[in-house]
A and B are shown apart, each in its own frame.
Chain A
Amino acid sequence: MSIHFEQQDIVVPGQLLAEGDYRHGNGAFKEHEKIFAAVIGLVKMKGKTVYVVPLQGQYIPKARDIVIGTVIEITLNGWLVDIHSPYPAMLPVMHGVSRRDATQAKENLRQWYDVGETIVAEILAADRTRDPLITTRGRGLGKIRGGVLTHVIPTRVPRLIGRKGSMINMLKTELQTDIVVGQNGVVWVKGRPERVAIALDAIRQIQREAHTSGLTDRIRDTISAKLAESKGESLE
């Protein structure tokens, strides 16, 4: 029974984390009663479970996640959507349009979502043996117009959202912009151009400093500094 790390240490693959009566969570594996890190990330322990929060990695679809994707193909019974993961998502007509429109929609799917258009969707089912199924029925889901898209490393999305949305809500209120964060790392920002620019900078900084603490406060400071600066400019 021994632990070879401190909370939130940066660990690298193959690093010995704990020996004895512990359990492994994500990003760690167990062999001969020893727990090792499997990915580069921050090690944590909760109860008797040792896990590693990854800093890098691709998005793997998970049911109930909100994602932002691009329509890449129209099939006989729906759309194929690129959600920036190893697996393209299927959006069948029945989940893409309202029940009332379903029969009509099948005639010309392009009227609803055309190739190249960006949609916000929720993952209905994903089990890696088949391509994930998504839906655009629901509040806040569907086609998006205007604004800009940016990408963050998917494993750092929780940091962009923050505990109970603290980070993202702070960004939205401070900057008065619309921000939608997909779990797949695609972020949509819409608002006044100068504020969008500040938001994009902030998102970039959050991604870069995702593994540091006290981030929300630091971001708030930089944003208010930039806002004051831009106000000064506009007054001149």
Chain B
Amino acid sequence: MSEKTSEEKTPLIDSKGLRTDGRKLDELRPIRLEVGNLSRPDGSAYIEHGRNKIFAAVWGPRELHPRHLAIADRALLRVTYRMATFSVSDRKRPAPSRREHEISMVIRQALEPMLFMELYPRAAIDVFINVLEADGGSRCASTTVASLALADAGIPMRGLVAGVAVGKIDGKIAMDMNDIEDKIGEADLPVVMSPERGEITLLQMDGKLTPKELAEALRMAEEGIHEIHEMQKAVLYEKYAKIREEVGEVSQDVDDDILDDDILEDVADEEPLEEEKPKKPAALKRKRTTKAKKPDSDEPEAEKPKAAKPRKRAKPKEEETS
């Protein structure tokens, strides 16, 4: 799309410096998040980001079928991004499109680095993303909501990820592109990152940006992502805080029976603490020391044990024959 037509037909920024939907250049669309709203999946979440309405459901870690896909040392993450036939103004044909396949893949790649996949070898973690209504930046909103659903499913992760699409409209860098801006703007830059770690897990670009503009766009994206991340944390926290409030207590009693005593067994393999030494590691250590002693004694008298061994073996034979 040439700049000329976009300026002539639909100016994306009006004289007051506001966009088509009345936002400022650095303003996010309204976002609403829900978590745990589906009862069947292990984890679920819902997002309304501008006109995007997206559900995410997570199953797993669960048994992987077909079996041949299993990875011996980690779990397999499968992400399915699907658009409802009524999600766009022209009916979307129900068959999975090339675009849906691609978005499924980039979302998977945006989520996977955050997960501890090695904890569940041979298992599968399935993420299903259903777009009920699509607006600009749906892959970013999908990643935001999928990350929430994974957290809701209790899958161990390094942190949440959130996404926002920044871009360039009428020569200016703008935050959180909507559908029209995405289509007739000069550039669209979807970014997904982990705000706590400052790591980008998804970065795509459609259009043209100068290096300077790219840097500015990324800085703007980071700001937006931080804002979305705060909402993500709040909604996850709220799910459980609500029940606590309802019950009417927040006790800080350490000795309460919420504690699972087994939990310390798997504590990282550093030196056990003074007050509690897990039984298992102690037993292992004993074994190790006995093993370690053997080669030590072997070294100085290498020949003797060799000579001794046949004798030991010979003995039972004699017994058998006798």
Contacts and interface: CB of A to CB of B under 8 A. Distances in A.
B233 A159 contact: no
Given A58-B61, A212-B244, A13 B122 contact: no
A40 B159 contact: no
A23 B236 contact: no
B257 A12 contact: no
B307 to A, nearest CB: 38
A221 B254 CA distance: 23
B260 interface: yes
Interface in B251-288: 251-254, 256-260, 262-264, 266-268, 270, 273-276
Contacts of A215: 257
Contact of A87 (B63, B251, B254): B63
Interface string B86-113: 0000000000000000000000000000
B123 A40 contact: no
Nearest to A31: B158
B153 A57 contact: yes
B157 interface: yes
The secondary structure that dominates the A interface is loop
A38 to B, nearest CB: 4
A214 interface: yes
A92 interface: no
A5 B243 CA distance: 20
B17 interface: no
B257 to A, nearest CB: 4
A14 B159 contact: yes
B7 interface: no
B244 A211 contact: yes
Nearest to A42: B258
Contacts of B120: 60, 86, 128
B200 to A, nearest CB: 15
Interface string B116-131: 1000111110000000
A89 B247 CA distance: 38
Contacts of B133: none
Given A49-B264, A49-B267, A14 B259 contact: no
Nearest to B123: A86
Contacts of B260: 53, 158
Nearest to A27: B156
Contacts, number: 161
B26 interface: no
Contact of A47 (B151, B155, B157, B273): B273
A63 B153 CA distance: 24
B247 A55 contact: no
Contacts of A26: 263, 266-267
Contacts of B196: 14, 16, 36
B180 interface: no
A24 B268 CA distance: 7
Nearest to B270: A23
A56 B214 CA distance: 40
Contact of B256 (A13, A16, A39, A213): A213
B69 interface: no
A15 B195 CA distance: 11
Interface string A197-229: 000000000001111111110100000000000
A12 B123 CA distance: 24
B155 A39 contact: yes
B154 A57 contact: yes
Interface string A52-67: 0111111010100000
Interface in A3-23: 6-8, 10, 12-16, 23
B213 interface: no
Nearest to A211: B240
B152 A56 contact: yes
A165 to B, nearest CB: 10
A1 B226 CA distance: 26
B32 to A, nearest CB: 18
B241 interface: yes
B63 A212 contact: no
Given A13-B160, A218-B247, A58 B42 contact: yes
Nearest to B61: A86
Interface in A52-102: 53-58, 60, 62, 86-88
Given A44-B254, A58-B42, A212 B154 contact: no
Contacts of A128: 120-122
22 contacts: A8-B252, A12-B151, A12-B236, A13-B151, A23-B267, A25-B266, A25-B268, A29-B158, A30-B268, A39-B155, A41-B154, A42-B258, A49-B273, A56-B43, A58-B42, A86-B64, A86-B122, A87-B123, A163-B259, A211-B240, A212-B244, A213-B253
Given A10-B244, A58-B154, 14 more contacts: A8-B253, A10-B240, A13-B156, A14-B159, A29-B156, A38-B156, A40-B152, A40-B236, A46-B264, A49-B267, A54-B154, A87-B123, A212-B244, A213-B258
Name the 6 nearest CB pairs between A and B, nearest first: A14-B159, A56-B154, A57-B154, A86-B123, A163-B257, A213-B251
